[in-house]
Homo-oligomer: A and B are copies of this chain.
């Protein structure tokens, strides 16, 4: 199940539109017509992200955003602002407030969902993760030692991860088994070359759809090719 997202907007049409598309994208959505009820609700239930209209009847969206971002209790809830006009001042203001992204009306639902996704993804890595994404289906976080295939996290062992990493870093080039072992263990220990094959097999298996990126070059070694 995906994250909880709250939507706050006084225009019913927009509220429904946004809500519908986020639900369709798999998020758990709750709707709010004004800031008051929203602020009450987050005391009890915390969303991962809030889609917040800049203009609200009872309270400015800016105020709400400032409130959220200044309270350490809510500081890690992401805020995506909806602005009526693309006037730059609004935008900058929104971002200076600490909003994590913004979308200007009118917007396409597709764009909105894409941005929600992007912000939440960024959040998972705390925006500091150094990640690489390949062909949109394989993603690595080199610092967190994490790997995703089509958005789903898979578990690699340390050795598997390191082999995948070196292959990707040297992508396009063939690495001999010897080189790979050398990268893994230096001259700390002696390991027979067939071992690499087994790791590669495990890797391919776990990578599933992305497994075919690891190509074998007969008689030479392995190569990563997207």
Contacts and interface: CB of A to CB of B under 8 A. Distances in A.
A39 to B, nearest CB: 15
A169 B87 CA distance: 8
Contacts of A220: 145, 158
A46 B121 CA distance: 23
A186 interface: no
Given A219-B157, A223-B144, A72 B132 contact: yes
A110 interface: no
A125 to B, nearest CB: 5
Give the secondary structure class of A's interface: loop
A154 to B, nearest CB: 14
B218 A141 contact: no
Contacts of A74: 133
Given A101-B128, A128-B118, A76 B218 contact: no
A23 interface: no
A76, A118, A130, A133, most chain B CB atoms within 10 A:
A130
A86 B172 contact: no
Contacts of A218: 157-158
B129 A118 contact: no
A134 interface: yes
Contacts of A141: 172
A77 to B, nearest CB: 9
A145 B215 CA distance: 11
A152 interface: no
A171 interface: yes
6 A-B pairs with the lowest CB-CB distances in the bound complex, closest first = A158-B219, A143-B173, A126-B172, A72-B133, A145-B217, A145-B174
Given A118-B127, A128-B173, A129-B172, 20 more contacts: A46-B136, A72-B129, A72-B132, A73-B133, A73-B136, A75-B132, A86-B142, A98-B121, A104-B130, A114-B127, A118-B128, A124-B172, A126-B172, A143-B173, A144-B173, A144-B223, A145-B174, A145-B220, A157-B218, A159-B219
9 contacts: A46-B135, A72-B139, A73-B136, A86-B142, A118-B127, A124-B172, A129-B172, A144-B174, A145-B223
